[in-house]
Structure 1
Amino acid sequence: MSPAARDSTAVLPGAAECPNRSLPGTGLRRLFSLVKYENLVAGLSGGVVSTLVLHPLDLVKIRFAVSDGLDLRPKYNGIFHCMRTVWRQEGLRGLYQGVTPNVWGAGASWGLYFFFYNAIKAYKQEGQQAELSATQHLVSAAQAGALTLFLTNPIWVTKTRLVLQYDAGIDPSKRQYRGMLDALVKIYRHEGVPGLYRGFVPGLLGTSHGALQFMAYEELKREFNKYRSLPSETKLNPLEYITMAAVSKIFAASATYPYQVIRARLQDQHNKYSGVMDVMRRTWRNEGVRGFYKGMVPNVIRVTPACCITFLVYENVSRFLLHK
């Protein structure tokens, strides 16, 4: 945890807006008093549903993202060729390699993200009559993303390792990890805590993805309600939520995708890099700009409907829990 997070007088920007927040521990206590479990449950529900439906596309995205020319990697001509090859060789189980940590990771990430994000927003809104600005939404989402990543990074490492067990369904001897817990134990035993936090730095930079997405989502909702001359918090219908989520996700994914390639390559068990700069140098030297965008098409195809499902489930579950 950062020094700012440990210092209750510097928990979040805007603390000076309320005099009581300068007292030791007051800021943290006030922040946690604004936390609502409903946001956690709603976000978790959305993340689990979308992940179960779209995991095979996540598998394809990661395999393309790490395709750096090593002979041990299967060669695929495109998204459907990859899915068809995995299905033919390993069946449905092959397409769902790594689904357990993906479900845990996505559920926990979305749940914690909405959990922290709404608490931080409520904290900043206190004592402020005007609505939060786009910049405040951006910063709130980035802070929520950093907290969430710190808690979930080990899960994402295990997911990447399991997804990259090539031909494990054909030849069990090639299965380095038997499952999520086995992967966590072996990574910790052989690589220690640093192994569980591989890719954390680019992941931290990647919180800009969630920040941009949430900023765009909030602004789209606000501008749409303003256009209809309705209060900014007016609930939308399912199609409107899906549209806002899709547009915000495509915008964020297009702007920040390279960090996902860097992160996946750092977490890959088949190649070794000394750090973020080493990944960037070698990718640029061997593959050029295209190397930083490998797997982007299956990623956009996956994350857009995943985001729509997640936000739709979240908005409806949170509405039900908060107003029952």
Structure 2
Amino acid sequence: MTEFSILCELAKTRMQMQGTGEKSASRKMYRNSLDCLIRIHRKEGVRGINRGMVTTVIRETPGFGIYFLAYDTLTRALGCDADADYIIPKLLLAGGMSGMASWISTYPVDVIKSRLQADGVGGANRYDGIVDCVRQSWRVCRGINRGMVTTVIRETPGFGIYFLAYDTLTRALGCDADADYIIPKLLLAGGMSGMASWISTYPVDVIKSRLQADGVGGANRYDGIVDCVRQSWRREGWRTFTRGLTSTLLRAFPVNATTFATVTLFLINGG
């Protein structure tokens, strides 16, 4: 599951970065996510396929822990019981704030992940590894901070929808502790929640990735969020904001299904 998740994440980032390289050929380098991975393997070998692998694991391992810890703490503090007043706004707030909590702790790693995975798009590779990427990005301090605002815009509503969708679906499916078929129900609710979260915020994620990786292949192309949106729309049209969505959803369902089911069953069994 980990390797599959990493491959989907790599394909997503590379698809999002099409059209940003110095060479015009980078605009339509990949036909789809599978073609993207095949071409990366042919051109860059195993090292290319594994770009960003370590940073992805470093980001996601504590990230999910922080999400759920913050969410549990906030739902208790806000009184998010089934019969509570204003339950939907409370769940959205708890989910959004938990996303913010995780973002604060993992954002620098996310930037390095994006820059490593985008390295080589439309040109030669620039980084020798994680340490070299950190060093070069830190030298231009703005490189670490690029995409910060778009990440906040994505994480806050994205995780609000993420947890609200899961809560709504588990109630609708009847995922009580003694319910029949509890595991399939939890897997379905978790997978659908992950997909709903990504679909609702995916265009913002494209802009986030482009800003975070801006300058990897040479000089910076974008002056900020608005300029990135404008240039992306003008050069490539609306399809720009859906590139990589297929691999993202293929990854989102199994990853979030297993994550939510594992956490929920752990809590049900008195963990």
Which TM-score bucket, shorter chain as reference?
0.7 to 0.9
Give 1:105 deviation, angstroms: 0.6
- The corresponding residue for 1:279 is 228
TM-score, normalised relative to structure 1: 0.73
- Note if contact 2:17-2:118 (Cα within 8 Å) is conserved in structure 1: no
Larger Rg: 1
- Note if contact 1:141-1:214 (Cα within 8 Å) is conserved in structure 2: yes
TM-score, normalised relative to structure 2: 0.86
Distance in 2 between residues matched to 1:99 and 1:279, nearest whole Å: 27
- The corresponding residue for 2:126 is 176
Q: Which amino acid aligns with 2:11?
A: V
- Percent sequence identity over aligned pairs: 24
> How many aligned positions are there?
261
Q: How does 1:141-152 map to 2 (within 5 A)?
A: 141-152=95-106
Q: How does 1:110-189 map to 2 (within 5 A)?
A: 110-125=64-79, 130-131=83-84, 133-166=87-120, 174-188=124-138
SS in structure 2 opposite 1:54?
helix
Distance 1:83 1:293, change over 3 A: same
Give 1:175 deviation, angstroms: 4.3
Give 1:165 deviation, angstroms: 2.0
- Note if contact 1:138-1:214 (Cα within 8 Å) is conserved in structure 2: yes
Give 1:267 deviation, angstroms: 1.0
Q: Which amino acid aligns with 2:76?
A: A
Give 1:178 deviation, angstroms: 2.9
SS in structure 2 opposite 1:206?
helix
Distance in 2 between residues matched to 1:157 and 1:92, nearest whole Å: 22
- The corresponding residue for 1:62 is 13
Consecutive aligned runs of 4 or more in structure 1 exceeding 6 Å deviation: 233-236
Distance 1:129 1:311, change over 3 A: closer
Distance 1:142 1:288, change over 3 A: same
- Note if contact 1:60-1:295 (Cα within 8 Å) is conserved in structure 2: yes
Distance in 1 between residues matched to 2:100 and 2:46, nearest whole Å: 34
Q: Which amino acid aligns with 2:145?
A: Y
Give 1:291 deviation, angstroms: 1.4
**Pick from 216, 234, 256: which aligns with 1:307?**
256
Q: How does 1:26-105 map to 2 (within 5 A)?
A: 50-68=1-19, 70=21, 71=23, 73=26, 75-105=29-59
2:207 matches 1:259: no
Q: How does 1:160-309 map to 2 (within 5 A)?
A: 160-166=114-120, 174-188=124-138, 190-192=139-141, 194-207=142-155, 208-225=157-174, 237-268=182-213, 269-270=216-217, 271-309=220-258
Distance 1:313 1:181, change over 3 A: farther
Stretches of structure 1 that go unaligned for 5 or more consecutive residues are 1-49
- Note if contact 2:162-2:197 (Cα within 8 Å) is conserved in structure 1: yes
Could you say what the CA RMSD is over the residues aligned between the two structures, in angstroms?
2.7
Distance 1:222 1:85, change over 3 A: same
Q: Which amino acid aligns with 2:32?
A: G
